[in-house]
Structure 1
Amino acid sequence: MRLILRLLTALVLTVAAAFAILAFIPGQKLAELVGQQIEKQTGRQVVFGGDVRFSLWPTLGIQADTVALANADWAGPEPMLTAGRLVIGVDAADLIRGDVRITELTAIVPHLNLETREDGTGNWVFESAQAEAGAAGESATDESASFAIEAVTLNGASLRYAPHGQDVIEMSQVDLNLLWPDPNGTATIDLTVRPSGKPVRVQGEVGSFKQFLLGQVASVGATVTTQASKARLDGRADLTGAFDGRVTGASEDTSALMAALGLAPAEIPQGLGRTVEFAADTTYTPDGRIALRDLSLSLDQNTVTGEADVNTSASPLQLTAALKGDVLDLSALDAAPAPSAGDAGTGGAAARGWSTEPIDASALALLDGQISLDVQGLKTSSLTLGPSRLTVAVERARAVLSLLPVQAFGGALQGELIANNRNGLSVAGRLSFAEVQMQEALGQLAGYDKLHGEASGALNFLGVGNSMDQIMSSLDGKGNVELGKGFFTGFDLQAIMDPDGGNGGSTIFEGLTASFAMEDGTLRNDDLRAALKVLKAEGEGRVGLGAQDLDYTFTPTAFASDTSSGISVPVRIRGSWFDPEIKPDLSKLVQPKLDEAEEKAKQAVRDKLSEELGVPVETEQDVNDALKRRVEEEARKQLLKFLGGD
């Protein structure tokens, strides 16, 4: 028991002696000692401009007001770090032995003035320390062991970051907590920045932190969390920001993520990344270039794989990518809004008109570059493509989609589609097509599904406007189409010409050709030719692409021959695409029936005369000749009889 008491007494006396020694060390003297050690290790002068007080509680060390850490020589006269108050905690036992081991470095309301020079080196890289370490070799390593910082805390810091040749970034309310218990070991970092007021938190580890601070490459791992988003980085990095490793991440709300990162807001269409999942082997260089390999990217319901190269320092962002995917659903890009409750009683008429909802094409300005896509299909609200190879080239808010070719509407398309949002939105296309099913094509592109047949042809168009209604009402262009066998549903030309020979409400044709021109949303055609089994038909008129109406006249012709023009009955189709009025000219249907009755009567007379006269009678001349011969024959018989002959 006495031994224990003696040990406790010795321990208390030792601690009391240590505190007594420390108490007699002036705060300014201790500050100078700490400052000398920091300057020796960093090559930067530390200035204590205010009061310096020695403290025993809650931290053993000093509290200094108005503290500044000098900047790099090339970075200008402004200090790299200033703080309204700096609390420096030291280890008492090491201090008694003449070593300075800082257990705590807390800056209250500090300001960080960070920048990089042309080669990417930041002013936070302490070049003097690097030079000393390189020159002194192992001795420098041994000497530096007498100086270490176990913990750094920045509360409510402000930050100014000026990357060379780029816009200055300023942030406030930055919090940092760094723990580095082993000078030759791993440091853990907990950093929170608020680029736009919302917290972005980085929690990570840096292996061989001392070498990392000297500019060498070290292993790193970090988790970044912010507004409904999380990412993980594992790899190797250095102080310049260079990184090589694996990055994974996900965001449930990319709009919130962009806002948290201080990026300009953009309305992202469904299918292009309102939610995101990402994984890739990633290489980042200090000039803002990112190389992504073994890339997997999910944008809402769409998933692609491949590789990409991104230049984030360019404005706008530059992207080159080669991607593969299944069927991409982009139907939200041009989908009409759902009808309101007030439209329910209109029989769907309101829903049939083109959408007047503004189209937000601002996403076209987010990047420049070229993306190649090898996909199993692509869907929008207006068209569906099959297995396809596509390239998308974007430059200054103008996107060109090249079809190389693509499978669509049962056939093949090639050409290009263009969306230009430089001075308001415009869309254009130059397409050729073969073996396309017209019911699918016209049904998806124009809402008209009454023409069936396999077609080949070409189409050029241009439309301008910020809504589907404006674009369709402004369409200009031209095209041509040629169909093999096919049919129209909704009217029967053959039944009009021959009630006993119709096709059950459809007009069946053996072939069809037409060309057309579009102006201000109206398509005009005057050379439609269709060949039917017993008829031929021609057509001309207009189709309102914007108004979704038509006024078109078909003119079928029957009983035509080399010597006769046949009988023609125009059929006019007029009104809405969805419920057109079809009216033939009935007055021209009567004459053929009357002529037929008259012809039948004449034939009966000719047959009777042939029987009575004993000779064939086909024409009025035949009748006259037959009667004349009959009279002459009867006169000869009577004369011979009169003369006594047989």
Structure 2
Amino acid sequence: MKWIFRLIGLVVVLALVLVVSVLFLPADRIAQIATDQLRAATGRDVSVSGVSITLWPVLGVRAGELEVGNASWAEQGPMLQASGAAIGVDALALLRGEIRITNIEAQSPTIRLEQKADGRASWRFTDASGEARIETGTSPAREARAVSIQRLEVTDATLIYDAEGSDLISYSGVDLSLDWPDRLGPADFAAVLRPTAEPVTVTATIDGFAGFITGETRNVSIDISAGPGDVSLEGRANTAGEVAGSFGVVTGDTSAFMQALGLPPVALPAKLGRRIDLTTQLTLTADRQLALRELSADLGGNRLTGAADIGLNGTPQINARLDAGPLDLSDLSTGSADGGASNGGGTAAPSGNGSWPTERIDASALSAFNGEIALSAEGIDLGRFSLGKTQTVLSNDNSRMVFLLRDVVAYGGNVTGRFVINNRSGLSVGGDLSAAGIEMQGLLDDAVGLSRLTGGGDLKTSFLATGASVDAMMNSLSGDGSLNIGRGTIEGIDLDRLMRSGETGSGTTVFDSLSGTWTIASGVLRNRDLLLELANYRATGEGTVGIGRQVVDYTATPIALRANSGQGISIPVRFTGPWSDVSVQPDFEAVLDAQIDEQTDKLEEKAKEKLLKELGGDTGGSLENQIKDRLFKKLFD
């Protein structure tokens, strides 16, 4: 019994020694141990002030201020500053000479993260030893076990991210948490950011987190949810900013999603990103070069597949090859990218009252990227124009977008040339197009709303329009062109009937060829050399087509080649009025004027001949000269 009581007494004494050691352990010493471990793990200066010890429920210290230094090249200040912090340690592990940090808490800290274009990142602890150790005065040669942090919790933080070449990003009211129960196991990360009234939630799981924070590449799973959008990644990553894996983006409203992230809203055209459902295999390098492979994207109506390389330093620089089915780009020409179609139907069609849509065109989306995109599509709707199977290269440089048409099937023929949208200093649209074998009825109907002319032919044109609305553009339109059509028809008038009976009525004129050239200035097309060839007739034409005002004033003059004993007869036909109701009438006044001019010429010729006979001169000579001769003789004979 004596030995039993002695053994119990020894245990009690040992327990008392342990308790007294903990109770009298200086708070500054605990803080020093913790900061030494953080300094060894990060390679950064760590300072703590205003320290007090806590015994329950967790052994540890509370600090009035905590500061963790940044990389030597960083410009934004310390990496972490907190006005209040708490560090808890496992007491039993501490008595065994181990440092096991059970929790780190920080209230209202400021966290500054910086990244250079060469790949350097302030959160990559390149100066760390990789293993935290305890240094004591009694046993300096003794190695301690590596530090582990079971939980990190940060509330009401300010997060600042400065990437060289990009705008500074700053978020306030951020909550962060890290659960890392096993030093060699995975860590779960969660964050809530509040750039706007609607919170953004971030969740992530990182395998082998101990290796991850020292720069090793580890498996990661990340999800970001903000308002009507979600971003996900399943792959591998490291702290240098290198990422690879399966990436997905889903947005119900892309502009609202951007705003929820604290970014400026974007005015995207319909079917070009207002809604996004995208999946791809992603690779991101430390210098922010992004590669997308096996890309599949639904942009809210337009579907694309392909691959892309994108530079993310500043304005995105894109080099991509994409394949599409039918592609609808009509909003690029109508300016309804803000969500409201300018004319209800999404195309820049005439309003029906002699004017074009006057809503302001928002072309700000042209500044969203620079680069070159090779595109293959089954068909492209450009608003007023429709293209068939298309091989084109789209390039954009500082808000100037060029569609280079390499191999385009359109209106039954082939089109080459370019189409340009420029928003550098005011919006303008222009192009140089060459078309072969084009069916003119569809083209003219789409271009100027005229559908009376049919036939296949060749067309060359150049044009330029400027203005903030479709109406302004059509009234500023300038350019020139030429047209050559083979066999075709003119709907709404029968020239044969007109020439035989003088009646217009309805009907169709069949012609063998049609050619002409034109110029356009201030929205008015002018033509003076139209030539129409028929079996028994020939027709010429001249006049104007008011593209801006949607009116026409054009006179075609058909000539019956075999009439009037082979001398021919002509009856001009005048087309006047608005496009929606063109009046077609024979110009009998012009016929009468022509006949009067002809009869006047004949009478003048007869009078001349009679006078010459009376003067006794040569009827083939000049009447003026013969009169001069007669007067000269009278005066000097």
Instruction: Please confirm whether the aligned pair reaches a TM-score higher than 0.5, indicating the same fold.
Output: yes
SS of corresponding position for 2:331 = coil
Go from structure 1 to structure 2 and tell me whether the alpha carbon gap of 1:520 and 1:13 turns closer, same or farther (over 3 Å shift).
farther
User: 2:504 touches 2:585 (CA, 8 Å); kept in 1?
Assistant: no
Instruction: Kindly state the Cα deviation for residue 160 of structure 1 after the two structures are TM-superposed.
Output: 2.6
Alignment map for 1:448-467 (pairs within 5 Å): 448-467=450-469
Go from structure 1 to structure 2 and tell me whether the alpha carbon gap of 1:549 and 1:351 turns closer, same or farther (over 3 Å shift).
closer
Name the counterpart of 1:431.
433
Write the letter of the residue equivalent to 2:216.
Q
Alignment map for 1:72-151 (pairs within 5 Å): 72-75=71-74, 78-117=77-116, 119-130=118-129, 145-151=145-151
Instruction: Kindly state the Cα deviation for residue 60 of structure 1 after the two structures are TM-superposed.
Output: 3.5
Instruction: Kindly state the Cα deviation for residue 16 of structure 1 after the two structures are TM-superposed.
Output: 9.8
User: 1:283 touches 1:291 (CA, 8 Å); kept in 2?
Assistant: yes
SS of corresponding position for 1:127 = coil
Name the counterpart of 2:490.
488
Q: CA offsets per residue over residues 335-374 of structure 1, 9 Å max, x none?
A: 484669xxxxxxx964663111111111111111001111
Write the letter of the residue equivalent to 1:109.
S
User: 2:157 touches 2:173 (CA, 8 Å); kept in 1?
Assistant: yes
**Higher mean C-alpha displacement, 366-375 vs 143-152:** 143-152
**Higher mean C-alpha displacement, 579-588 vs 97-106:** 579-588
User: 2:471 touches 2:548 (CA, 8 Å); kept in 1?
Assistant: yes
User: 1:439 touches 1:451 (CA, 8 Å); kept in 2?
Assistant: yes
Write the letter of the residue equivalent to 2:458.
S
Question: Which structure 1 segments of 5+ residues have no match?
Answer: 1-10, 134-141, 341-347, 593-646
Write the letter of the residue equivalent to 2:324.
G
Name the counterpart of 1:595.
none
Q: Aligned partners of 2:568 and 2:85: how far apart in 1?
A: 106
Q: Aligned partners of 2:353 and 2:297: how far apart in 1?
A: 35
Structure 1-normalised TM-score?
Answer: 0.82
Name the counterpart of 1:263.
263
Write the letter of the residue equivalent to 2:244.
D
Name the counterpart of 2:603.
none
User: 2:493 touches 2:505 (CA, 8 Å); kept in 1?
Assistant: no
User: 2:303 touches 2:325 (CA, 8 Å); kept in 1?
Assistant: yes
Name the counterpart of 1:6.
none
User: 1:18 touches 1:92 (CA, 8 Å); kept in 2?
Assistant: no
Write the letter of the residue equivalent to 2:94.
L
Q: CA offsets per residue over residues 57-102 of structure 1, 9 Å max, x none?
A: 3x44221111212333444794321111111122222122221211
Instruction: Kindly state the Cα deviation for residue 565 of structure 1 after the two structures are TM-superposed.
Output: 3.5
Instruction: Kindly state the Cα deviation for residue 331 of structure 1 after the two structures are TM-superposed.
Output: 2.5
SS of corresponding position for 1:239 = coil
Go from structure 1 to structure 2 and tell me whether the alpha carbon gap of 1:571 and 1:144 turns closer, same or farther (over 3 Å shift).
farther
Structure index of larger Rg: 1
Instruction: Kindly state the Cα deviation for residue 386 of structure 1 after the two structures are TM-superposed.
Output: 0.6
Alignment map for 1:32-431 (pairs within 5 Å): 32-57=32-57, 59-75=58-74, 78-117=77-116, 119-130=118-129, 145-164=145-164, 166-195=166-195, 198-314=198-314, 316-335=315-334, 337=341, 350=352, 353-431=355-433
Q: Aligned partners of 2:286 and 2:322: how far apart in 1?
A: 26
Alignment map for 1:511-550 (pairs within 5 Å): 511-550=513-552
Q: Aligned partners of 1:302 and 1:349: how far apart in 2?
A: 27
- The higher-RCO structure (CA 8 Å, 6+ apart) is 2
User: 2:492 touches 2:506 (CA, 8 Å); kept in 1?
Assistant: no
Q: CA offsets per residue over residues 273-320 of structure 1, 9 Å max, x none?
A: 000011111110122210111111111100010100111113x22111
User: 2:401 touches 2:420 (CA, 8 Å); kept in 1?
Assistant: yes
Go from structure 1 to structure 2 and tell me whether the alpha carbon gap of 1:370 and 1:483 turns closer, same or farther (over 3 Å shift).
same
User: 2:342 touches 2:359 (CA, 8 Å); kept in 1?
Assistant: no
Go from structure 1 to structure 2 and tell me whether the alpha carbon gap of 1:339 and 1:232 turns closer, same or farther (over 3 Å shift).
closer
Q: Aligned partners of 1:402 and 1:22: how far apart in 2?
A: 78
Q: Aligned partners of 1:330 and 1:503: how far apart in 2?
A: 41
Name the counterpart of 1:505.
507
User: 2:428 touches 2:464 (CA, 8 Å); kept in 1?
Assistant: yes
Instruction: Kindly state the Cα deviation for residue 258 of structure 1 after the two structures are TM-superposed.
Output: 1.8
SS of corresponding position for 2:362 = coil
Structure 2-normalised TM-score?
Answer: 0.83
**Higher mean C-alpha displacement, 31-40 vs 531-540:** 31-40
Go from structure 1 to structure 2 and tell me whether the alpha carbon gap of 1:144 and 1:221 turns closer, same or farther (over 3 Å shift).
farther
Instruction: Kindly state the Cα deviation for residue 156 of structure 1 after the two structures are TM-superposed.
Output: 0.8
Question: How many residue pairs get matched?
Answer: 566
Q: Aligned partners of 1:492 and 1:389: how far apart in 2?
A: 41
**Higher mean C-alpha displacement, 103-112 vs 165-174:** 165-174
Instruction: Kindly state the Cα deviation for residue 28 of structure 1 after the two structures are TM-superposed.
Output: 2.6
Q: Aligned partners of 1:472 and 1:227: how far apart in 2?
A: 40
**Higher mean C-alpha displacement, 28-37 vs 101-110:** 28-37
**Of Structure 1 and Structure 2, which has the larger fraction of its residues in helix?**
1
